[in-house]
Chains A and B, each alone.
Chain A
Amino acid sequence: MHFRIRDGVTLDMLPSKQFKTIGIKVDFVAPLSVDAITARALLAQVLETSTAAYPTQTALARQLSRMYGAVFGISVLKLGTKHVIRLTCSVVNEQYLDQFAEEQPLFEQAMDLLKAVIFEPLLPAGSFDAPTFTQQRQNLLAAIKSLDDDKQYLANRRVQELVFTEPAQAMSALGDTEKLGRLTATDILQTYHEMLANDAVHVAVVGDVDADRVQSSLATWPLTDRTVVDASPYYHWDARPSVTQGDDQADVVQAKLNLAYHLPIYRDDPDFLAAVVFNAAFGGTPLSLLFTNVREKASLAYYASSSYNPFTGIMGVQSGIQAQNQERVVAIIGEQLADLQAGKLSAELLHEVKASLLNARLAGLDSPQRRLTGLLNTQLTHMTEPLKSWQAKLDAITVADVQRVAQKVTLQATYCLHGGDQDAE
C-alpha cells in the first residue's frame, strides 16, 4: 500500500502477521554533494544522541529500554546521486509480551519517539547543544579514521578513488575528516532545517498494524509540502581507455587486491536483470567463476568475489592473496570475464545462479529490515517489479543476454594493498 502524505512525502505499508515486531523506517533523501555528505553524517550523529525531552543519551537509552528494547538508530548512506539519512525504529508487538500494562501501544510510542528525534531535538538557546555537538564531531572523526583499520575496506576505498573523478562518489558515506573539522553547530543547524524543508521523505512500516493507526500517528508530524526535484538517481561516468594501477604498502600479512570495472547498466536499463545474473555468475555467489577458479581450483585465496552497483555503474572485485601471486590472480580474473564475453557460460551455472537469485529474493521477504530498506529502490526509481513478473524475466535470461552485458564491462583500475616490496620474491 502506497500513500502520498504530502507533496514529497510518501508512506508505504507492508502489513504482515509474520513478525513479532513492528518496524518503521524514515528516509530523508537529498542530492549527493561533497559538502552535504559530511554535514549530514554529523547531523545524523547529533540527532541520534538526544532530544529535548530526552536530553542525554542515557535518558534516550532508558526510554528505548522502557519500550521493551526498542531498536532505534540513524544511519547515512550514499545511493547513486542521492544521500540518505535513515532513521529506523523497531518495537515488539505487545501481544507477545507476558505483562504489558501500558496505555499506549509500543507502535505509537515508537512513532512518538521518532517524532521527538526528528522534530524536537535538543536545541537550548536555538542552537544544537554545544557539548553534544563537540563530542559527536569528535566521535565521527574517530569513526571515519577507524574505517581504515579494516584493510579490506581501505583497499576498496582506494580503488574507488582511482576510478571516480567526482569526489562525492569516492568519499565514504560518513564524510571527510578535513571538512568535518571545520563544521560548526550553526552549519549543522542549517543542514537540519534544509533537511526538514527540502528532502524527499519516505516513511515505511512493516508488521501487524493497520494503515489508519499509521496515518493518524503520522498526521501529528509537522511535515510540510516540499518540492522535490526528481533528478535521476544514477551516476553516469565515462570509461577510460586505459587501466589505472595503484598500490600501497601497509602493515598487512595478506595482500588485498581490488579491481574496478565500468559496468554502465543501471536499474532502468532493460538489461538490468541480465547484469545482476552476470555479476552472480562472475563473482557474486559462492558458485561463481571467481570463487571456483581463484579459490577452489587454484587455491590462491579464501575470498574472491564481485559486487555490482546499479546506481553508479561500477563493479568491484575483491580478494585476499599472497602479494607475489597478484599477476596470476589478475590473469585468472581476466580469463573469467573473457569467457563470459565469449559466451562461455554453462547451462548449469546459469541455472544455479538464477535459482540462487530467486532464493535470495524470497528469503528477503522473511526479514523485516530488508523489506523496509528494499523499498527505497522503488521510491528512487519509480519502478516496481512484482515477484511473478520478475521471476518470469529472470527465467527468460539467456547466455546471450549475459554475454551482451559482459561485453560492456571494461577494467578501469587495479589496486593492491600489500605488506612489502612486491619484487622481493
Chain B
Amino acid sequence: MLNKQAYTRLGEAVYQTTLANGLKVILVPKPDFHKTFAVMTTDYGSMDNEFVPRGSTQSVRFPDGIAHFLEHKLFEKKDHDAFDLFGQYGASANAFTSFTQTSYLFATTSKLRENLDILLDFVQDPYFTPATVNKEKGIIGQEIQMYDDDPGWQSYFGMIGRLYPKEPLHIDIAGTVDSIDKITADDLYAAYKTFYHPGNMSLVVVGQLDPEETLSWITANQEQKTFAPNEPIQRVPSPQAEPAEIIPTTTRHLTVTRPKISIGIRGFDQVPTGRTGLKYSVAVSLAMDLLFNDTSDHYLRLYDANVIDDSFGYDFQVQRGAHFAQLAGDTDQPEQFVKELTAILNDAPAQLQAAQDQFELVKREAIGRIVGAINSVEAIANQYDGPLFDGATIFDELTTLEGLTFTDILPAAEAFLGQGRQTVYTILP
C-alpha cells in the first residue's frame, strides 16, 4: 500500500500513498526525534477568488481574502474550538494561507493518533454561521492593520503587486477590511465544498512515527466519512498582465529610518512541469547565488561602496502559475542600489560566465543548507510542494542539486532573467 523511497546515504525514507477518497499521504519517519509535525494542505489560496462552486454551473467572484478567512473559521465549531482539542494534549496548532495554498498543522510529542484525528476531523467538518463569521471580522481586521504597519511586509507584497498588477497576486492574502466585511457563511461553505475535497488535499506527517501504523490510523479515520465523488475544480483563469503592463517603479513614504528597496523580477518563460520544473527552480536559485550571494565579487564591491549592507537578501520562488525573484535591502543610496543591481541582472549571461569558477562553491553551500534543513521536521514537511513538481520532497531537491552542472544553470537563468520583467518598489522615509 505504502510506496517507500529510501535515501540511503542520508538515512531517510519517504512513504507515500493516495487513499481511496483521493487524499495524498506522505510520511517521513524520524525515529530519533521527540516531535511529530503534521500539515494538511489544500491547493486553494488567495489567488483562487473566482471559480465555479461545486454543484453549480455558474462561476462566482468571491470577496478578496476568503481563503484566509475560511482558514481562521475552520477552527471554530458549534460547541468547541479545535485549538482547545489540540491543547488537551499539549500539541501546538496553527494554520496559514498563501497565494496558492491553505495549510493546517500541529506539532506534538505525544498522542499522535488523537492529534491526527483532531486535525482530520476539524478540517473535514466545517461549521460556519453568520454570528461566528461576523465575530472574526474584528480579529482579521486587526491582522490586516498589523501588516499595514510592517514596512518589510509592505515592501515585499507591494513589489509582488506591481509584478502582477492584473492578477489576484496584487491583492493582500487577507483581503481588505472592506472586502472581508462582505464575506458570508454561505460563501465559506461554497469555497469549502469546492476546494476541501480530499482529492484536492495532502497530509504530510514527519517525525516520531511508524509509517504503517500511522497510515492505518489515517485510513480508519477517513473510512468513517463519506465524500461526494471528486470533480475537477473549475477556476476562472485570472486576467494576465502583458510584459509591458508590469508597473516599473513605485515610490511610497512610510516611517522608516532608511530607504527600503525591493526589486522584483517576474518570469514570463514557461516553467517546465514535473521534476524538470524542480531542476529549473534549483538552477535559477543557484544562478541567483552566483550573481548575488556574499561570495560574489559584486557583493564585496557594493558592500564596500555602502550600496548594500547586511540587510541585503534575495530569493526565487515558483508557485502555481507564478514565478518571481526578489532582491531587497535597506540603503542610503537608493539610486545606486537600483542601478548597480539591475545592471548585473541585465548582463546576467556574461556575469554568470565570469563567475563560473565560483560554481562549485555556491553549489556546496546550497547542498549544505539543504542537508542542514533535514534536521527540522517542519522544514521537511513544508518543503513538500504537492502537485507543483510532481510530489517532490526536500530529498529530491537535494538529489537534483547534487546532479546539477554549470551548463544546466545558464539556459534556466537566461529563460527567466532574459524574458523576465522587473519592478522597483521603493519605500522612503
**A residues bordering B, Cβ < 8 Å?**
16-21, 56-58, 61-62, 64-71, 90-92, 96-98, 131, 135, 138-139, 142-143, 145-146, 148-151, 250-254, 256, 286-287, 295-296, 299-303, 320-322, 348, 351-352, 354-360, 362-363, 365-368
Check if A151 sits within 8 Å of B149, measured CB to CB.
yes
Check if A352 sits within 8 Å of B372, measured CB to CB.
no
A interface secondary structure, majority: mixed
Contacts of A352 in B (CB 8 A): 84, 87-88, 90
Contacts of B148 in A (CB 8 A): 253-254
Instruction: Tell whether A362 pairs with B35 under 8 Å between CB atoms, given A58-B294, A299-B135.
Output: yes
B367: contacting residue among A68, A149, A295, A355, CB under 8 A? A68
Q: Report Cα–Cα, A252/B33, bound state, in Å.
A: 43
Check if B299 sits within 8 Å of A58, measured CB to CB.
yes
How many whole Å from B288's CB to the nearest CB in chain A? Answer: 14
Interface assignment of B254: CB less than 8 Å from any CB of chain A: yes
How many whole Å from A43's CB to the nearest CB in chain B? Answer: 16
Check if A320 sits within 8 Å of B32, measured CB to CB.
no
Instruction: Tell whether A302 pairs with B142 under 8 Å between CB atoms, given A18-B33, A296-B81, A355-B87.
Output: yes
Check if A359 sits within 8 Å of B10, measured CB to CB.
no
Residue of A nearest to B375 (CB): A19
Contacts of B182 in A (CB 8 A): none
Instruction: Tell whether A21 pairs with B139 under 8 Å between CB atoms, given A62-B361, A356-B87, A363-B35.
Output: no
B254: contacting residue among A251, A254, A286, CB under 8 A? A251
B235-259: CB near A (< 8 Å → 1, else 0) gives 0000000000000000000111110
Contacts of A68 in B (CB 8 A): 364-365, 367-368, 371
Contacts of B137 in A (CB 8 A): 299
How many whole Å from A407's CB to the nearest CB in chain B? Answer: 26
Interface assignment of B38: CB less than 8 Å from any CB of chain A: no
Residue of B nearest to A321 (CB): B142
Sample of 20 A–B contacts (CB below 8 Å):
A17-B32, A18-B32, A21-B372, A66-B361, A68-B368, A71-B372, A91-B368, A96-B10, A139-B309, A251-B255, A256-B149, A287-B84, A299-B138, A301-B139, A302-B143, A303-B146, A352-B87, A352-B88, A359-B92, A366-B377
B356-390: CB near A (< 8 Å → 1, else 0) gives 00100110111111011011110000000000000
Residue of B nearest to A99 (CB): B402
Check if B371 sits within 8 Å of A92, measured CB to CB.
yes
Contacts of A64 in B (CB 8 A): 365
Q: Report Cα–Cα, A413/B91, bound state, in Å.
A: 33
Interface assignment of B19: CB less than 8 Å from any CB of chain A: no
Residue of B nearest to A358 (CB): B90
Q: Report Cα–Cα, A253/B154, bound state, in Å.
A: 13
Contacts of B320 in A (CB 8 A): none
Instruction: Tell whether A146 pairs with B142 under 8 Å between CB atoms, given A71-B372, A139-B309, A366-B33.
Output: no
Q: Report Cα–Cα, A138/B333, bound state, in Å.
A: 14
Given contacts A148-B257, A302-B140, A356-B87, 11 further A-B contacts (CB under 8 A): A20-B10, A20-B374, A58-B299, A91-B368, A146-B256, A149-B256, A253-B145, A359-B90, A359-B107, A366-B34, A366-B376
Interface assignment of B295: CB less than 8 Å from any CB of chain A: yes
Contacts of A151 in B (CB 8 A): 149-150
How many whole Å from B428's CB to the nearest CB in chain A? Answer: 13
Interface assignment of B79: CB less than 8 Å from any CB of chain A: no
Instruction: Tell whether A69 pairs with B367 under 8 Å between CB atoms, given A300-B142, A302-B139, A358-B109.
Output: yes
| In the A-B complex, the 7 residue pairs with the closest CB atoms | A355-B90, A69-B368, A299-B138, A68-B368, A69-B365, A359-B90, A254-B145
Q: Report Cα–Cα, A271/B33, bound state, in Å.
A: 31
Q: Report Cα–Cα, A231/B332, bound state, in Å.
A: 43
Contacts of A368 in B (CB 8 A): 375
Q: Report Cα–Cα, A321/B309, bound state, in Å.
A: 34
B171-201: CB near A (< 8 Å → 1, else 0) gives 0000000000000000000000000000000
Contacts of A142 in B (CB 8 A): 257-258, 309, 330, 332
Contacts of B139 in A (CB 8 A): 295-296, 299, 301-302
How many whole Å from B198's CB to the nearest CB in chain A? Answer: 27
Residue from the set A66, A359, A368 with the largest chain B CB neighbour count within 10 Å:
A359
Check if B107 sits within 8 Å of A69, measured CB to CB.
no
B286-317: CB near A (< 8 Å → 1, else 0) gives 00000001111101100110100111000000
Check if B89 sits within 8 Å of A355, measured CB to CB.
yes
Interface assignment of B110: CB less than 8 Å from any CB of chain A: yes
Check if A69 sits within 8 Å of B136, measured CB to CB.
no
Contacts of B89 in A (CB 8 A): 355, 359
Q: Report Cα–Cα, A301/B141, bound state, in Å.
A: 8
Contacts of B88 in A (CB 8 A): 348, 351-352, 355
How many whole Å from B34's CB to the nearest CB in chain A? Answer: 4
Interface assignment of B83: CB less than 8 Å from any CB of chain A: yes
Q: Report Cα–Cα, A329/B109, bound state, in Å.
A: 35
Q: Report Cα–Cα, A388/B139, bound state, in Å.
A: 40
How many whole Å from B178's CB to the nearest CB in chain A? Answer: 14
Residue of A nearest to B331 (CB): A142
